[in-house]
Amino acid sequence: MERHFDEELKNLKEKLLHMADTAQEMIGLSVKALTERDKKVTEQVFTLENKVNHAEIEIEEEVLRLLAIRQPAASDLRLLTAILKINNDLERVADQAVNIAEIAVDLLKEPQFKPLIDIPNMAKLVQNMVKGSIDAFVNHNPAMATGVCEHDDEIDLINDQIFRVLLTYMMENPKSITPAVDLILISRNLERIADHATNISEEVIFIEEGKNIKHHIQEEQQH
C-alpha cells in the first residue's frame, strides 16, 4: 500500500541527494582552484556553502516534523534517524571543502613550490568515496557501502605519505614551511571528508540491515 508518508520520504531523500551533489561539487572545485591556480573558483565554493547550510536546516526540520507526526517505526525510523546523521556528515563535508578553498586562496598568493600530484589524486579518491556512499544510499546497497568503508585505510596511508614528502621539503628548505603546512592541512581536510563518507556508508548499512557497525570495523582491524 502506497502511503502519503512514502511521498514525503521520497521528497526528503531528493533534498538530501541534491545536498550531496552540491557537497561533491564543492570538493572538486576547491581542489580545482589549486590545480588550475584560479582564485575565482574559490568564490564558487563559498557561494555553494550557503546553499548547503540552508539545505541542512531544511532537512533537519523536515525530519523532526516527520518524526513527530508520523511516529515511524522499523525501517522508516532507521531511515529518518540515518538521514539526520547523513545530513550532518554532508554539511561537514562542505565545511571541509570550504576550508580547502580558504587555504587555496592563501596558497595562490605565492608561486607553486612543488608540483601537485598526490593531493589531486587523493581528492579524486575521496570524491569517489563520497559518491559511492551516496550511491549505496540511493540503491539500498549495503555491500557497496562496505566497499566504501574499506577504502578509508588507503586514504589514511596517502595522507601519511603526503605528510612525509612535505616534511622532507620543509627540512630541506625552511622557506617552504608555510605552503607545505597549508598542503598538509588540505590533505587532512580530504582525509576528514573520507571519514564522513565512511560514516555515511555505516548509516546506509544501518538503514538496510539494522546493524550498527560503527566500531566493529575498527575492532576487526585490531585482530
Partner 1 sequence: MENPIISAEKINLYYGMFHALKNVDLSIARKKITAIIGPSGCGKSTLLRVFNRMNDLIEGARVTGRVMLDGRDIYGSEMDLLGLRKKVGMVFQRPNPFPLSIFENIAFGLRIHHMYKKNKSVLYGIAKESLQSVFLWDELQNKLNSLATNLSLEQQQRLCIARLLVVKPEVLLMDEPCSALDPMSTSRIEELMQELKKNYTIIIVTHNMQQAARVSEETGYMLLGELIEFGATQEIFTKPRDRRTEDYITGRVG
C-alpha distances (whole Å) from 37 to each of 20, 111, 116, 161 are: 25, 9, 11, 23
Distance in angstroms (rounded) separating the CA atoms of residues 202 and 82: 9
* 3 binds partner 1 per the rule CB under 8 A: yes
**Toward partner 1, which CB reaches closer, 137 or 206?**
206
Work out how close the CB of 53 gets to partner 1 at its nearest, in angstroms, rounded to a whole number.
31
**Residues near 9 by Cβ (< 8 Å), separated by ≥ 6?**
66, 76, 79
Burial 119-130 (b: 16+ CB within 10 A, else e): beebbeebbbbb
Work out how close the CB of 76 gets to partner 1 at its nearest, in angstroms, rounded to a whole number.
5
* 74 binds partner 1 per the rule CB under 8 A: yes
Work out how close the CB of 63 gets to partner 1 at its nearest, in angstroms, rounded to a whole number.
16
Work out how close the CB of 11 gets to partner 1 at its nearest, in angstroms, rounded to a whole number.
18
* 73 binds partner 1 per the rule CB under 8 A: yes
* 68 binds partner 1 per the rule CB under 8 A: no
Question: Which one among 178, 210, 214, 216 touches partner 1, defined by CB under 8 A?
Answer: 210
Expressed in angstroms, the distance from the first to the final Cα of the chain is 46
Work out how close the CB of 12 gets to partner 1 at its nearest, in angstroms, rounded to a whole number.
16
* 78 binds partner 1 per the rule CB under 8 A: yes
Nearest Cα neighbor of 197 from 104, 85, 121, 100 is 85
**Residues near 12 by Cβ (< 8 Å), separated by ≥ 6?**
59, 62, 63, 66, 83
Number of residues that bind partner 1 (CB under 8 A): 12
Distance in angstroms (rounded) separating the CA atoms of residues 132 and 96: 18
Question: Which one among 17, 67, 77, 185 touches partner 1, defined by CB under 8 A?
Answer: 77
* 10 binds partner 1 per the rule CB under 8 A: no
Question: Which one among 76, 102, 118, 135 touches partner 1, defined by CB under 8 A?
Answer: 76
Work out how close the CB of 111 gets to partner 1 at its nearest, in angstroms, rounded to a whole number.
57
Angle CA 109–42–18, to nearest 5: 165
* 161 binds partner 1 per the rule CB under 8 A: no
* 1 binds partner 1 per the rule CB under 8 A: yes
Q: Footprint of partner 1 on this chain (CB under 8 A)?
A: 1, 3, 5, 71-78, 210
